[in-house]
Structure 1
């Protein structure tokens, strides 16, 4: 049975009305966020592409995964122009989350409900590894984060992560291992785990749990897989999707709410304080975020419309807090 990807994003959600490029400090007044530089702050993706994930390395280029067929699109941030660099496996085999390694040699791709993890050459797009048959029938390999030792992937429908060990060069070493989540992790009856990041000190993982206590950020010990709720001072992230950590500042994309919650974490990632909320008229259900310079780039997934071959999709950017 094929799932609608919109279903995993919009269960009971009503998209919030967009504000005009506002960065609102919590407890203070909002101010207009000025666009930076001459580079485009918005550019189009191919019609019908159905983006979800984004990754940016040390070069001013962004990579996007397609929910439609698993293609990977590379775009210049300076011009907004791009091309398909990697052809996906086809229908029902998407690319959801993706990350480029520090050497900008490899792309690690989460294969969604195709239950796959793929590794592609970041320059040519050639497929290097394809691990299939992960999890169980209802598994969905959603998002990915890279550490020096491993690539970690979330499974949105089962209480587990996947760990793909990396050798000293950053290449996959072996096959993905299923890591059951323990501690305070609570699995909902439907979609649960979403975005994944590292803590500021790099010693643990941060994972969105959209079910627990109305939407919770969880800190996961990578050695034991014990999960504990991060104290966010009452902030809920029911539509939390992509996570972006810059220093100790965590950007949480709340896609169906058309907002980014900005959180200041302690080094261990056990506590955080909400410091700002970013909204923008250009948000059309953004899902994930990546940074270049002083701007945050987000693909608009448009989960509120029925996808068609001619549906318009775009990428927008807002200033960093």
Structure 2
């Protein structure tokens, strides 16, 4: 791993602290850290922006969630992990709650920003990607041709089990073995879904249940995991490589035109990304490295 001294400094600083800065320096505009350390052995997977400068990172290894300050690089545990636990995709809703997919445990968990668990929802399958709107939270299933939807109540209230729906996916998007992972919500309410094994992008309307494949031309999205949509710019994270693919989506969601590939020397099998100002932070999942309690992990800053 590169920049080990930066990682050590970041892990030593609490969230909200300015590492190595005087009071005068703390008020000067500065670039966010190039690398933000995560706990050794953390096995990160998902990331989502929280309130202010905070972001949350999930652990595929034990279901823990770690809080980091993207301005300073400081960090602290938010949710403790447990043996056999998993946390995959994350999303932050308009009520300042953190939604976590629970992978092969087949459910979803909801936390407030203090780390208190507010609700658990059994969904089924292998729950992976998460995307939240003001009224609904959607989850992909990496093993089955389904999307799960949790409908929020008035003023964003958390529902009981009656608020959970399973949406069967049509042919193509619902193909067996396609491995639906990343998900993002487009401007028209459609879901953009990445198929890791099939190497395809789809637009899915959760109201009509219609789906159409998004043409990416000659650009490959094989192995795609996390998605991030900013305006009409779609970022696709492919853990098998060392870069993030940037596309421009057409208004009707029929085409994704390749724009650029964003890389960094410190990228090592990124899984997901989150925005911060004019930058992106990628989770270095390091899937090609066998995890141990001492394996180093971090977030890497990228230009957008």
TM range (shorter): 0.7 to 0.9
Q: CA deviation at 1:119?
A: 0.5
> Paired residue for 1:27?
none
Is the 1:58–1:102 Cα contact (8 Å) retained in structure 2?
no
Mind listing any 5+ residue stretches in structure 1 that lack a counterpart? 1-35
Is the 1:54–1:98 Cα contact (8 Å) retained in structure 2?
yes
> Paired residue for 1:128?
118
> Paired residue for 1:247?
231
Deviations 1:199-249 (A, max 9, x none): 2x232000001233xx11000011132221012223221111100011110
What does residue range 229-240 of structure 1 map to in structure 2 within 5 Å?
229-240=213-224
Query: Out of 171, 182, 206, which is 1:195 matched to?
Result: 182
What does residue range 75-94 of structure 1 map to in structure 2 within 5 Å?
75-88=68-81, 90-94=82-86
Is the 1:107–1:119 Cα contact (8 Å) retained in structure 2?
yes
> Paired residue for 1:107?
98
SS at match of 2:154: coil
Check if 1:177 corresponds to 2:178.
no
> Paired residue for 2:15?
none
SS at match of 2:240: helix
Q: CA deviation at 1:183?
A: 4.1
The structure, 1 or 2, with the larger RCO (C-alpha pairs under 8 Å, 6+ apart) is 1
> Paired residue for 2:195?
209
Alignment RMSD (CA, Å):
1.6
What does residue range 1-321 of structure 1 map to in structure 2 within 5 Å?
37-88=30-81, 90-103=82-95, 105-122=96-113, 124-132=114-122, 134-135=123-124, 139-175=125-161, 176-189=164-177, 192-199=179-186, 201-212=187-198, 215-320=199-304
Find the aligned partners of 2:154 and 2:234 in 1 and give their Cα distance.
28
Find the aligned partners of 1:225 and 1:96 in 2 and give their Cα distance.
25
Q: CA deviation at 1:58?
A: 4.5
Find the aligned partners of 1:168 and 1:41 in 2 and give their Cα distance.
41
Deviations 1:14-34 (A, max 9, x none): xxxxxxxxxxxxxxxxxxxxx
Is the 1:140–1:155 Cα contact (8 Å) retained in structure 2?
yes
Is the 2:168–2:174 Cα contact (8 Å) retained in structure 1?
no
> Paired residue for 1:12?
none
Is the 2:50–2:56 Cα contact (8 Å) retained in structure 1?
no
Is the 1:53–1:299 Cα contact (8 Å) retained in structure 2?
yes
Aligned length: 274
Deviations 1:77-133 (A, max 9, x none): 122111111224x22221110111134x210110001111110112x110010123x
Is the 1:193–1:210 Cα contact (8 Å) retained in structure 2?
yes
SS at match of 2:261: strand
Find the aligned partners of 1:288 and 1:50 in 2 and give their Cα distance.
13
Deviations 1:32-57 (A, max 9, x none): xxxx9332110110111111000013
SS at match of 1:288: strand
Is the 1:92–1:113 Cα contact (8 Å) retained in structure 2?
no
Q: CA deviation at 1:305?
A: 1.3
Find the aligned partners of 2:158 and 2:300 in 1 and give their Cα distance.
32
